[in-house]
Amino acid sequence: MPASHWSLDDLAYRILKDAHYRDMSRSTVQRILAGADLKPHRSRYWLHSDDPDFEAKALAVCRLYLDAPRLYRQGELVVCVDEKTGMQALERLRPGRPARPGRPELREFEYARHGTRCLLASLVVATGQVLGSVTERRATWDFVRHVRDVVEAFPHIKRSHWVMDNLNTHWTFALCRYLAREEGEAAWRDRPPLRTGAQRRAFLQDPSHRHVVSYTPKHGSWLNRWRSGSGCSAGVCCGAGSSPRRRSWRRGSWRSSSTTTGITRTPTSGPTPASRW
């Protein structure tokens, strides 16, 4: 059977067999590789982006993060929005035992599956506050409802700057309609044609609107600051895989860290620098 990765022993054996060397050992192969600074057992992922405006879009997003505290003082929000899909809703068949001095928490090994859920969450960059929803699907109206919940949570805000990636639910006709009508019927009545994705993205990015969307460049969704905390918040939301029943995972707005349907993180002090959680 062909091998894609060879061990040192395999390499030494192949050299002895094919090259007819008298002596060859794994330590010799190791010294040769080390001398050439080759590490065939290691690899790193990389991702190429063919977005011609990658640098300009990345700089625009980073400038928003740096300006977030100043904008917040002026009554404007910088909000990062993203999804975490495929979270398993697991129910432990028996209750766990809490940690005690000298003994860690005991968790039941067996569990029952209750499908998967999607976590929709928004990070307010200036304050570190997180608002989220747990949904059964990642559909158009799930995302629009989440955006609506965030908007309604900050009724005093004059303007919102949204940072999101290029997922198809982030530039739908329904999202354009909601954000425009939330600003005023005039903004929706005077809209340009919104038949294509390019037209909708241009409409959402219009700097004259009350809600302005900034999209990360292609293959640049790691610029979304919510990504850095999605695993942590999912752990708080899901707990230790002990969701008691399926209905507790239906859509809901996070209001306390003790529920499985959501959490709102509120900072203990005022605005924080854009480089901190």
Encode pLDDT of 162-184 as tens digits: 999 999 999 999 999 999 999 88
The residues spanned by each domain of the chain are 7-43, 54-249
pTM for the model: 0.74
The residue among 129, 73, 67, 122 whose CA lies nearest residue 273 is 67
CA-to-CA dists, residue 179 to 3, 86, 118, angstroms: 55, 28, 23
Architecture, CATH, for domain 54-249: 2-Layer Sandwich (3.30)
Q: Where is pLDDT greater, at 184 or 263?
A: 184
User: What is the rounded average pLDDT of the residues 5-23?
Assistant: 79
CA-to-CA dists, residue 2 to 5, 6, 89, 232, 253, angstroms: 9, 10, 40, 41, 52
Please check the confidence at residue 238 and state whether its pLDDT lies above 90: no
Please check the confidence at residue 235 and state whether its pLDDT lies above 70: no
Q: Grade residue 276 by pLDDT with cuts at 50, 70 and 90.
A: very low
